[in-house]
């Protein structure tokens, strides 16, 4: 189902956070971000028992997560409302706030590489490694042909196996590991993430690789280190958009750059920096029905590509004094396959985001990661993260204390002013509020 209009009328989205969930859907339809059929409510987005029972083994029940929408994303000159599935408060607010500043600065510009996925066959006990390597290279064409014959439908669609790389991993006495001959199959999986396509192709060539090398295959499997499927987002923000409370725009810029340098050199900080980036990325990946474990594993490996674990993002000063941010990571998401076409919430996310291709989805996801990082760093180097974070955390504490209905907001408001914002205070405040209402 296509949206009724391709242009978004954002005037309907003002004070979006103050609306009820039903009003938000109505506003999104009025803005042209959803179709009028979405007005029938979100009950139909839940997985039925029947569907869920087919998706996994030993199914018992579904486990719900809130699905929200981040606003203000201007990516490659197109407006997006971004679906995010996440349990952590403040992530969607931070993404929207970061994206708003970046939109005022012209939005995100992205570069998406060709979508080539990598499959591995690990061979052991190869009698002569250099000879095996040369045999494999001599028969490269035949190997690619066999791989493509194992999954002809992806070839018919215009994709398929494109290249072969051979890696020799030497034995390591200290680690007590033997030598391996590893064959990398590069495959264009088009709109799919491609795990099943690649695994089928690898199984189609494994016996032939054993024959050519004289070795024994240990395993054949996709690699989640998708270094041939990279997405980059860049933003450039003038200092007048960076001013915050007592800090000038120049000070915020310089402190943010220092924070980026700190995350580059210190793995303890880099992990937390990247966790913040993945707060945004995983939430969109999950909402889109893609495999967030695959994306997370690949991202953290990419952060270690220099041999040290480093920040995935960089923030630098432009010649004209602007702040330039950049984020690059592997993003092998699909627009088809897996649970994307099965899960009703993933289908809803696709309608809301309005993406047409996996590359477009990558562009939005990498931009969300950069917006998230910008907001977190800006807060950290100025007011600190707790001020904004705990404001939202207050509501979770109120609910944990047993508050419901209007009492949630009342407890949260008083908690924000309390000396100790913790569960005990929330419980005491709730008791007082309930006593007053009796």
By C-beta, is 154 or 429 nearer to ligand NDP? 154
Q: How far apart are CA 129 and CA 140, in angstroms?
A: 16
Active-site residue flag, 203: no
Give me the sheet containing 160-169, strands edge to edge. 160-169, 180-188, 116-124, 216-222
Pick from 382, 378, 349, 405: nearest CA to 85: 349
Which burial class, exposed, middle or buried, applies to 433 when counting CB atoms under 10 A from its CB (0-12, 13-18, 19+)? middle
Category of 411 on φ-ψ map: left (φ > 0), alpha (ψ -120 to 50) or beta: alpha
Q: How far is the CB of 159 from ligand NDP (least distance, A)?
A: 6
Return all residues near 235 (Cβ < 8 A) that are at least 6 apart: 102, 105, 106, 107, 108, 109, 324, 325, 370, 374
Interface region with ligand NDP, contact rule CB under 6 A, candidates 10-18, 104-112, 193-201, 276-284: 193-201
By C-beta, is 297 or 421 nearer to ligand NDP? 297
User: Which of 224, 311, 367, 425 touches ligand NDP by CB under 6 A?
Assistant: 224
| 3-state DSSP percent of the chain in helix, strand and coil, to 5 | 50, 20, 30
User: Which of 33, 85, 132, 195 touches ligand NDP by CB under 6 A?
Assistant: 195
Catalytic residue, chosen from 38, 191, 282, 291, is 291
By C-beta, is 28 or 201 nearer to ligand NDP? 201
Interface region with ligand NDP, contact rule CB under 6 A, candidates 74-82, 125-133, 313-321, 336-344: 336-344
E strand intervals along 86-215 = 109-112, 116-124, 160-169, 180-188
Pick from 254, 251, 303: nearest CA to 277: 303
Active-site residue flag, 54: no
- Using CB under 6 A as the binding rule, whether residue 193 contacts ligand NDP is answered as yes
Report yes or no: 228 and 161 within 8 Å, Cβ to Cβ.
no
- Using CB under 6 A as the binding rule, whether residue 346 contacts ligand NDP is answered as no
Q: How far is the CB of 236 from ligand NDP (least distance, A)?
A: 34
Total binding residues for ligand NDP by CB under 6 A? 20
User: Which of 40, 153, 245, 306 touches ligand NDP by CB under 6 A?
Assistant: 153
- Using CB under 6 A as the binding rule, whether residue 227 contacts ligand NDP is answered as no
Catalytic residue, chosen from 4, 53, 88, 240, is 88
- Using CB under 6 A as the binding rule, whether residue 249 contacts ligand NDP is answered as no
- Using CB under 6 A as the binding rule, whether residue 197 contacts ligand NDP is answered as yes
Q: How far is the CB of 329 from ligand NDP (least distance, A)?
A: 15
Q: How far is the CB of 411 from ligand NDP (least distance, A)?
A: 40
Segment 275 to 294, residues that bind ligand NDP, using CB under 6 A: 291, 294
Q: Which helix (H) or strand (E) holds 267?
A: helix 267-287
Catalytic residue, chosen from 151, 350, 378, 389, is 389
Interface region with ligand NDP, contact rule CB under 6 A, candidates 53-61, 138-146, 334-342, 422-430: 334-342
By C-beta, is 28 or 281 nearer to ligand NDP? 281
User: Which of 111, 196, 206, 396 touches ligand NDP by CB under 6 A?
Assistant: 196
Q: Which helix (H) or strand (E) holds 84?
A: strand 78-85
Interface region with ligand NDP, contact rule CB under 6 A, candidates 60-68, 149-157, 171-179, 239-247: 149-157
47: how many CB neighbours lie within 10 A of its CB? 20
Segment 292 to 311, residues that bind ligand NDP, using CB under 6 A: 294
Report yes or no: 288 and 85 within 8 Å, Cβ to Cβ.
no
By C-beta, is 291 or 322 nearer to ligand NDP? 291
Task: Annotate 135-153 with b (16+ C-beta within 10 A) or e (fewer).
Answer: bbeebeeebbebbbebbee
Q: Give how far Cα 113 sits from Cα of 330, 350, 392, Å.
A: 9, 22, 37
Q: How far is the CB of 407 from ligand NDP (least distance, A)?
A: 41
Report yes or no: 222 and 332 within 8 Å, Cβ to Cβ.
no
Active-site residue flag, 18: no
- Using CB under 6 A as the binding rule, whether residue 204 contacts ligand NDP is answered as no
Q: How far apart are CA 107 and CA 77, in angstroms?
A: 7
Report yes or no: 192 and 334 within 8 Å, Cβ to Cβ.
yes
By C-beta, is 102 or 202 nearer to ligand NDP? 202
Residues with catalytic annotation?
A: 88, 275, 291, 389
Binding site for ligand NDP (CB under 6 A): 153-154, 157, 189-197, 222, 224, 291, 294, 334, 336-338
């Amino acid at each position: 189902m296509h949206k009724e209009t391709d242009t978004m009328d954002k005037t309907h989205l003002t004070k979006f956070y103050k609306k009820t969930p039903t009003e938000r859907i109505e506003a999104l339809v009025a803005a042209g971000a959803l179709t009028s059929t979405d007005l029938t409510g979100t009950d139909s987005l839940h997985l039925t028992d029947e569907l869920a029972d087919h998706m996994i083994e030993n199914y018992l029940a579904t486990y719900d997560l809130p699905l929200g929408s981040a606003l203000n994303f201007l990516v490659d000159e197109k407006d997006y409302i971004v679906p995010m599935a996440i349990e952590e408060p403040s992530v969607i607010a931070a993404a929207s706030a970061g994206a708003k500043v970046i939109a005022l600065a012209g939005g995100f510009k992205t570069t998406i590489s060709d979508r080539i996925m990598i499959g591995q066959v690990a061979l052991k006990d190869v009698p002569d490694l250099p000879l095996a390597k040369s045999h494999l290279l001599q028969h490269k064409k035949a190997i690619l042909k066999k791989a493509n014959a194992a999954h002809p439908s992806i070839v018919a669609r215009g994709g398929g196996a494109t290249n072969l790389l051979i890696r020799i991993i030497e034995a390591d006495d200290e680690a007590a590991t033997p030598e391996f001959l590893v064959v990398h199959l590069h495959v264009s999986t088009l709109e799919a993430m491609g795990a099943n396509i690649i695994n089928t192709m690898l199984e189609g060539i494994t016996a032939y690789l054993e024959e050519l090398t004289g070795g024994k295959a240990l395993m054949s499997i996709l690699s989640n280190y998708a270094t041939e499927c990279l997405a980059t987002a860049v933003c450039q923000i003038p200092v007048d958009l960076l001013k915050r409370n007592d800090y000038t725009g120049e000070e915020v810029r310089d402190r943010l750059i220092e924070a980026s340098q700190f995350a580059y050199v210190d793995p303890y900080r880099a992990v937390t920096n990247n966790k913040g980036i993945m707060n945004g990325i995983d939430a969109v990946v999950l909402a889109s029905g893609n495999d967030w474990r695959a994306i997370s594993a690949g991202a953290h490996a990419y952060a270690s590509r220099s041999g040290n674990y480093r920040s995935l993002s960089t923030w630098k000063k432009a010649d004209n004094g602007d702040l330039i941010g950049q984020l690059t990571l592997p993003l092998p998401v699909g627009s088809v396959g897996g649970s994307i076409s099965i899960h009703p919430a993933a289908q809803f996310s696709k309608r809301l985001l309005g993406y047409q291709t996996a590359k477009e989805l990558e562009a939005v996801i990498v931009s969300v990661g950069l917006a998230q990082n910008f907001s977190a760093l800006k807060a950290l180097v100025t007011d600190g993260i707790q001020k904004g974070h705990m404001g939202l955390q207050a509501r979770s504490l109120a609910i944990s204390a047993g508050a419901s209905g209007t009492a949630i907001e009342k407890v949260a408001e008083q908690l924000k002013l309390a000396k100790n914002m913790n569960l005990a205070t929330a419980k005491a405040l709730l008791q007082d509020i309930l006593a007053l209402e009796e």
